[in-house]
Structures are given as structure tokens and as C-alpha cells.
């Protein structure tokens, strides 16, 4: 099958209006931004920009073709009456691990720290806090073995109810992360994640991001579900967990930031290649960049209130810091094998070069 790529090219005027708007209040708000920030965001409507480019579609099963939805420009985002914004007393993003994320306690803990550090840099200026990980049984969720793929799955809606009950007072949102596959209802095969914007809760699974999920050799297949009762969670005691590779870390960072973006009220992006583009399948998710296009960046900046330069510098620091999030591990910690796993950042190196180009434009 020959892939026919389709490029979605908007006119300069369309992109300029999507970014700046024609509403005088929003135009003057834009003009008050730092000159470097305007210079970077104006790249959105420079056709020859090497920082931001158009969305390319590779197949009819890609998101935009199969899920027609109304685009959201900055003005629509800004004036959305249902949009939730962090307030001075609700400025924390909480991360709740459900079940183990790595094959050992150390790997699991480090991986959660890497994700937390990434979210801190991405949503620069908000606090990101870790809740104590819980086993699947704590959520009292329904579960099943998928009849097509033979892997264990937990019910996304049940987990959202559990998270909503656990949401701390100062939380802007609480997101659950798990290595167990999710399903939204009995008739569905699976879902990568699910969120409720009104409740500020989300659950995302990284189960399908391991390199072997779609291979015949996948070790997470369950022969038969021996369940004595709906409250027997013993099958989760040693479920299969993929190895934490750089690609898995990259994919999980992308999913986590994309989905938290939705909780801030950013809808799927249809303007330029952007983290907020929808994705229907893994190849399409892999083609999405880690970064936001200028239109979505302005939306996030409006919601959080960061300096773009400081945010980019924080992201570069996260990529450069190849040790874990804990400098100087305590002696008791390091007895358990290697207490400081090197963070697998190889897959982020190319993006780092891109951020450095952006910083050059910002700081000209």
C-alpha cells in the first residue's frame, strides 16, 4: 500500500487570526507579551518556518479524517465558559500510580520521578506532587481479560471515580498512571486514557507503549481469568510490565502532557504539527511532536502564566539531567542495587536541539 501523505496547510491569515484573534482586547493582550515571545509565536504564520510546520496525514484512519471536530482558536479557548483554570489555592497537579510501573520497586519509583519532573517543566510554574502508589485492589475497579488480545484490562471509569474521591483540596487536577491496559466499557476493545475535565481527573495507561505489545511474543497474555469473586485482585500481583526504554519514556511523557493539556481546556489541535493533535493509533502518536504549536502554547501560557524562556530552559534541564530526580541518594536507598538509574533520555535529544533553536529566537 502506498502511503499518500496529505498536508493540511492553512493560510497565513487563518493562522494569524487563530493565534492573535481579531478581538481588540486579545490583540492588545498579545502585544503586551515579551518581544521575544511574540517573535517565537509569530513563527506560526511564517510559511518557511523551520520551527513549526503543517500537520501531515498519512492514512484515512488518522484522527482528523476519522474524528471531525470543530477547531479551537485562541479566542475560543479564552472565552470558553466551562474552562477550568488553576487558582492560587488550586495550583497542584497530582500524579497517582496504580499498580507497579516497573519490574522492580526502584525502577517503578524512578520512572514516576522522571514523569513528574517532566510535567513540572512542561507545566512550568505549577506544583506537581506524587501521591503514594496504590495497588489495583485499592481502586475496587472492574477488570477483565480482553478476548482479542488476551491481556488484563481495568475499567477506566471506575478508576476515575476512585481518583475523584482522592482528589486533594489544593489539586488543579489528579491524574492516574498505570501499566495495565484500560477499557472504557464492555463493548470497547481498549482506550489509551480517559479524562473528565469538569472533575479535573484523568487516567492514562502506558501498557501499549512497550516495544512488544503488538508482537506475537507479548508476555502479558493471560491464559484464563481465574477469578473467585469480583473482589479477587490476586491476578494483579505479578502482571507483566514492559521494560522502561527511552521510547517508552518519550511516549508516556507525550501522553501525560497531551491529556493534562485537555484538562486545561485545550482541545485537539488542527492548526499545525503539535502535541495536542489527536491520535488514533500508535504510529500517529509517534509522529506528533513533543512541543505545542504557538497557538496551543499561547493557550497554556494564558492558563498557567509562565515565561516561555524559563519553561524551555526547564525542559532542557530535565533532558540534560540524566540522573534521576533525586540528586544524592541516601545510603540506605542505594543498598537496593543501583539507587540512581540513569534516565533514558536518548529519544529526547533531537527535541532538545529544537528547543535550543526556539531559545535563540526568544533571546535574540
Question: Please, what's the b/e burial string for 159-190 (b: 16 or more CB within 10 A of its CB; e: otherwise)?
Answer: bbbbbeebbeeebbbbbbbbbbbbbeeeeeeb
Which strands make up the sheet holding 127-130, listed edge to edge?
127-130, 92-98, 171-178, 201-205, 193-196
The DSSP code sequence of 140-189 is: T--EEE-TTT-BEEEEHHHHHHHHHHH--TTEEEEEEEESSEEESSTT--
Catalytic residue among 37, 75, 110, 259: 259
- 257, 131, 108, 240: which is closest to 193 by C-alpha? 257
75 given a catalytic annotation: no
- 155, 168, 165: which is closest to 194 by C-alpha? 155
User: Checking phi first, is residue 265 left (phi over 0); if not, alpha (psi -120 to 50) or beta?
Assistant: left
- CA–CA distances in Å: residue 190 to residues 143, 187, 253: 12, 9, 20
- CA distance linking residue 78 with residue 334, whole number of Å: 48
User: Checking phi first, is residue 208 left (phi over 0); if not, alpha (psi -120 to 50) or beta?
Assistant: alpha
Strand 55-57 to 6-8 pairing: antiparallel
Angle (CA) 9 12 16, round 5°: 115
Largest CA distance in the chain: 66
- CA distance linking residue 351 with residue 357, whole number of Å: 10
Q: Which residues are catalytic?
A: 259
Amino acid at each position: 500500500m502506498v502511503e499518500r501523505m496529505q498536508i493540511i496547510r492553512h493560510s497565513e491569515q487563518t493562522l494569524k487570526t487563530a493565534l492573535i484573534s481579531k478581538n481588540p482586547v486579545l490583540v492588545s493582550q498579545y502585544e503586551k507579551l515579551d518581544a521575544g515571545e511574540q517573535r517565537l509565536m509569530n513563527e506560526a504564520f511564517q510559511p518557511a518556518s523551520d520551527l513549526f510546520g503543517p500537520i501531515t496525514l498519512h492514512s484515512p484512519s488518522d484522527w482528523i479524517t476519522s474524528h471531525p471536530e470543530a477547531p479551537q482558536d485562541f479566542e475560543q479557548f479564552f472565552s470558553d465558559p466551562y474552562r477550568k483554570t488553576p487558582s492560587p489555592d488550586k495550583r497542584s497537579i497530582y500524579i497517582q500510580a496504580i499498580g507497579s510501573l516497573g519490574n522492580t520497586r526502584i525502577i517503578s519509583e524512578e520512572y514516576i520521578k522522571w514523569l513528574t519532573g517532566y510535567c513540572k517543566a512542561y507545566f512550568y510554574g505549577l506544583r506537581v506532587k506524587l501521591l503514594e502508589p496504590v495497588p489495583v485492589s485499592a481502586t475496587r475497579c472492574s477488570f477483565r481479560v480482553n478476548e482479542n488480545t488476551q491481556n488484563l484490562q481495568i475499567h477506566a471509569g471506575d478508576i476515575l471515580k476512585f481518583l475523584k474521591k482522592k482528589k486533594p483540596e489544593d489539586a488543579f487536577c489528579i491524574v492516574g498512571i498505570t501499566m495495565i491496559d484500560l477499557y472504557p466499557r464492555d463493548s470497547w476493545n481498549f482506550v489509551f486514557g480517559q479524562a473528565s475535565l469538569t472533575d479535573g481527573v484523568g487516567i492514562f495507561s502506558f501498557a501499549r507503549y512497550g516495544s512488544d505489545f503488538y508482537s506475537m511474543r507479548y508476555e502479558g497474555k493471560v491464559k484464563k481469568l481465574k477469578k473467585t469473586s469480583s473482589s479477587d485482585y490476586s491476578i494483579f500481583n505479578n502482571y507483566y510490565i514492559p521494560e522502561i526504554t527511552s521510547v517508552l519514556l518519550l511516549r508516556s511523557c507525550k501522553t501525560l502532557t497531551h491529556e493534562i493539556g485537555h484538562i486545561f481546556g485545550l482541545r485537539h489541535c488542527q492548526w499545525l504539527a503539535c502535541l495536542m493533535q489527536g491520535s488514533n493509533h500508535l504510529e500517529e502518536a509517534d509522529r506528533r511532536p513533543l512541543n505545542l504549536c504557538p497557538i496551543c502554547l499561547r493557550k497554556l501560557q494564558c492558563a498557567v502564566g509562565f515565561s516561555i524562556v524559563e519553561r524551555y530552559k526547564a525542559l532542557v534541564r530535565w533532558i540534560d539531567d540524566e540522573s534521576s530526580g533525586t540528586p544524592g541518594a541516601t545510603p540506605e536507598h542505594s543498598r537496593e542495587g543501583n539507587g540512581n538509574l540513569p534516565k533514558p533520555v536518548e529519544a529526547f535529544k533531537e527535541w532538545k536541539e529544537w528547543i535550543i533553536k526556539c531559545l535563540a529566537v526568544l533571546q535574540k
